[in-house]
Amino acid sequence: MRETVVKSHPIDTVFRADRLPHIFCSGCGIGPATHAYAQAILESGIPKDLHACVSGIGCSARVPGYMDVDSYHTTHGRGIPFAMAIAVVKPEMEVTVFSGDGDLFGIGGNHFIHAARRNVDINVICINNFNYGMTGGQVGPTTPLGARATTAPYGNTEHPFNLPYLAAATGAVFVARWTALHVRQLKDAILRAMQKKGFTFIEVLSPCPVGFGSPNDIGDALEEVWLYRERCVVDHNANLADLEIDLRRKDAPFVMGNFVDIERPPFDPLAMMKNKGE
C-alpha cells in the first residue's frame, strides 16, 4: 500500500498553523470550538477576505490571533462595539466576535444587550467556562450557584446569567447553546448564524480544568467532558427560562439546542441616513 503524504490540513487556509503549538491549557475547550468556527467559514461559501474575527481580552479572546482572516484583538469587553463598527461601515463583511463569558457579559455586558437590541449584523460566539480563567479563576457572570472560585472559596452566592434567555430577551435572531463536545452541532449552528442577517448568539460550554474543574472537584478535562456527555440533553423547543446550569443537583440536565431562529430587519443606520436625505 502506497503512503499518501498530506502536506496540509483543509482548515489551514483559514487557520494560522504556523502559530502552533497553541498557548491554551491541556484539555481546554477553546480548540474544538475554534475548529468548528474554521470549518463553518470553509462551508459558508463566503470568501475568506469577507470574514472578520474580533475579540476582547481573555483566553478565548486569543482565537483571532490563530485565524487567517482579518482579526482584531481589542480591549477588555469592547469586542462587540468594535465589531459593530466593522459591520455598519462594511456590511458585506461576515463579522464574528469570539470571546469569553467574563469579557462579553461581565466587562462588556452593556454592549451585548444594546447590540442585540439594535439587531446589529454580527455573530457572537461565547466560550463559557464559568470563570475568569485567564486572570486567576475568579467568579464571573456565569459561575453557577454554589460553585467555588478563587473569589468564592465557600461557593458562589451570586445568581448567574442564563445566557440564551438573555440573548433572546434582548432581540437576537438566532440563539443556540452547545458544548465543546458537540463539535458537529456547533459547526452547524455557526454556519446557520453566518446565513442570518442580524444579531446571532451561540454559547459554548467549555472545560476549564485549571480555573474551574479543579476547585470544584470535577477532575481533569476529560471528566468535565464526560459530565457534559452524561447530563446534556437536546431540546430545541426548551423554555428559555429553564436553561440555567445547576451543578448542585446531580439530576439537573444541561439543555442544548438551537433555540431561536427568527427574522427581523438588521441595524442599518447608513440606509436610514440615505433615506432621510432623499
Q: Which residue has the higher pLDDT, 276 or 173?
A: 173
In a domain, 164, yes or no: yes
In a domain, 232, yes or no: yes
User: pLDDT tier at 6 (50, 70, 90 boundaries)?
Assistant: low
Host domain of residue 273 = 10-277
In a domain, 263, yes or no: yes
In a domain, 4, yes or no: no
In a domain, 5, yes or no: no
Q: What grid cell was written down for 133?
A: 480563567
pLDDT of residue 248: 78
Where helices occur in the chain by DSSP H, the ranges are 30-44, 79-89, 101, 109-118, 163-169, 183-195, 221-231, 269-277
Q: The domain spanning residue 132 has which CATH number?
A: 3.40.50.970
SS3 172: coil
Q: What are φ and ψ of residue 123, in 5° steps? A: -105, 135
In a domain, 234, yes or no: yes
pLDDT of residue 159: 93
Return d(Cα 143, Cα 132) in angstroms, integer.
9
Q: What is the pLDDT of residues 154-198, one digit of tens each?
A: 999 999 999 999 999 999 999 999 999 999 999 999 999 999 999
In a domain, 2, yes or no: no
In a domain, 192, yes or no: yes
* Domain count for the chain: 1
